[in-house]
Every structure is written in C-alpha cells, then in structure tokens.
Chain A
Amino acid sequence: MTEASSTPRERPVSPHLVTGGLGSPLLWRWHITMWTSILHRVSGVGLYVGGLIVAAWAISLAEGPDAYATFKSLLGSIPGKVLMLGLTGAVFFHLASGVRHLIWDSGRAFDIKSANAGSVVIFAFAVAATLAVWGIASMTGAL
C-alpha cells in the first residue's frame, strides 16, 4: 500500500510476440513438439506419394520385365535415390510419431516433459533407422 506511487510494472504487450518494445527479441519460439506435429502431417502427405510409387512398382511388375527395368532405373537414378531417402525418413518418422499418437490416444504421456522427451526419441529413431536401412542397403547391393 505504501508503494502506490511507484511506477506500475511492465504489462504484456499485445499481440504478445516480443519481450519488450519494437526490435526486442521474439517471445514466440519454435518448440520441438511443433516440429513433430507439423512433420507428422508433412511426412503423411509425403508417404501418400510413396504409396503411389508402391502402386507403380506393382503395376510395372505386372507389365513385364521392360516396364520393371524402367521402374527400377527411375528409382535407381540420383533423383530417385534422393526421393527414396526422403521416403525412408518419412516412413520411420511417421511410424514413430504414429505410435506416439496411439499412446496419446490411450490417455498417457500428455504432460509437457513426456511430450518433449518423446519428440526427441522420435527424431532420434527416424534418423537412426534411416541410416541403418541405407547402411544395410549399401552392404547388400540394394543401392
């Protein structure tokens, strides 16, 4: 009560994006859970294309040796391999993130700590599994 004459403490600015006045650092920042949320959808759309490629594989197999050879040479080209590398990453990311969604559906691991830790695990799994598969592919002559 005795401090009624002191200056009022700084109020939050609206829209609440910056820590202080103009030119001050952004208060808003990326969280790892935003990345996993967005990438789950992006990888899902990417795998839609992957599904169409699997369908093209089946159709080329039914067409015969020439169509199959064309299909394999397309995927074996540099752009084809880049696409397949991306799709491998998308498969493992969407798989791990999808399993986390199933865990969330059971009502578990909803707290911020678990959500952050789970996101790190998902990224680590996606990178490790992609590297492992491409390592195996290079050793077995699949590349």
Chain B
Amino acid sequence: MVSYRTPLGQARGLGSAKHGASHWVAEKVSAIALVPLVIWMVYAVLQLAAGDYGFAVHWIQSPLNATLVVLTLAISFWHMHAGLRVVVEDYIHKTLTKSALLLLNLFVCGLSGALAIFSILKVALGAGVLGA
C-alpha cells in the first residue's frame, strides 16, 4: 500500500490516529445494548421504589437481577464516559482545561462505576443474613 503522506507529515505524526472509528462504534454498540437494559431498569426501579431494604437485598440476590444490574451499570458508565467526552471535546478548546476535564470524566466514570459494581456484587454474593 502506497502512502501518500509527506515525509514531514509522517514525522510530525499528523493525520488519523487510526482508532477514531472504534470510539464511534463502541458508543453505538453500547447504545444498542442499553435500549433493552434501560427499559428493564425502569421496570426494576418501579419494583425497588415500592420495596424496602430487605426487598432490595432479596431482589439483588437473584442471579438474573444481579447480572442485568452489573451489565447495565458497566455499559451505562462506558456510554456516559463516551458521551460526555464528546461534549467536552466540542466546547472546551483550551488544551489544559480540556485535558483536565477529560481525565475527570474518565476518573468519575471509572470510580463510580467500579464502586457501584463492587457494591452490587457484595450484596449479591453476601449470605443474605440482613436481607429477606
């Protein structure tokens, strides 16, 4: 394959980073996955809002519920990161501010997603002494 890029352009590393499409595809794939998951989540919230702590523990100890909550959380936080990243890149053009906000977005999504998933697993895998 012949490269049509100039030697100077190659040396400066200009041009496509070769992974632009994967970001776009990942956002779209997470969007498709979230369509059924979010509809299920609304149904789940309706049940959980009507119940107390014991009900929530009992509910989360069902393998199907625990799995779907963890999947919804993981894919949601991925999608949240991808979405807000585009917002920051669209409106913030100062390199330092932009970099700081992109890092903050990544860390907030990573930390809260990990905390949420670990919390779900802790309750789901717990002995259920406190719960129902």
A69 with B53, Cβ < 8 A, contacts A102-B31, A102-B32 known: yes
Which stretch, B2-10, B12-20, B93-101, B118-126, touches the partner chain A? B118-126
A61 with B60, Cβ < 8 A, contacts A54-B116, A55-B115, A142-B49 known: yes
The answer to whether B53 and A143 have CB atoms under 8 Å apart is: no
B102 at the interface (CB under 8 A from A): no
B58 to chain A, nearest CB (A): 11
Cβ–Cβ < 8 Å partners of A98 in chain B? 31, 34-35
A59 with B28, Cβ < 8 A, contacts A45-B84, A64-B130 known: no
B residues 31-62 with Cβ under 8 Å of A?
31-32, 34-35, 38-39, 42, 46-47, 49-50, 53, 56-57, 60
B128 at the interface (CB under 8 A from A): no
A131 at the interface (CB under 8 A from B): no
Cβ–Cβ < 8 Å partners of B84 in chain A? 44-45, 48
Which stretch, A3-11, A12-20, A22-30, A133-141, touches the partner chain B? A133-141
B80 at the interface (CB under 8 A from A): yes
Complex Cα distance, B114 from A55, in Å, reads: 9
The answer to whether A61 and B56 have CB atoms under 8 Å apart is: yes
Contact of A62 among B28, B46, B73, B123 (CB under 8 A): B123
The answer to whether A54 and B76 have CB atoms under 8 Å apart is: yes
A140 with B112, Cβ < 8 A, contacts A45-B87, A54-B76, A61-B56 known: no
A58 at the interface (CB under 8 A from B): yes
A55 to chain B, nearest CB (A): 4
A residues 53-106 with Cβ under 8 Å of B?
54-55, 58-59, 61-62, 64-65, 68-69, 72, 75, 88, 91, 95, 98-99, 101-102, 105
Cβ–Cβ < 8 Å partners of B117 in chain A? 58
What is the 8 Å Cβ interface bit string for chain B, positions 66-89, against chain A (1 contact, 0 not)?
Answer: 000100010011001001100100
The answer to whether B28 and A54 have CB atoms under 8 Å apart is: no
23 cross-chain CB contacts under 8 A: A41-B87, A45-B87, A51-B112, A54-B116, A55-B115, A58-B73, A58-B117, A58-B120, A59-B116, A61-B57, A62-B118, A62-B119, A64-B130, A65-B130, A72-B49, A91-B42, A95-B39, A98-B31, A98-B35, A99-B35, A101-B31, A137-B46, A142-B47
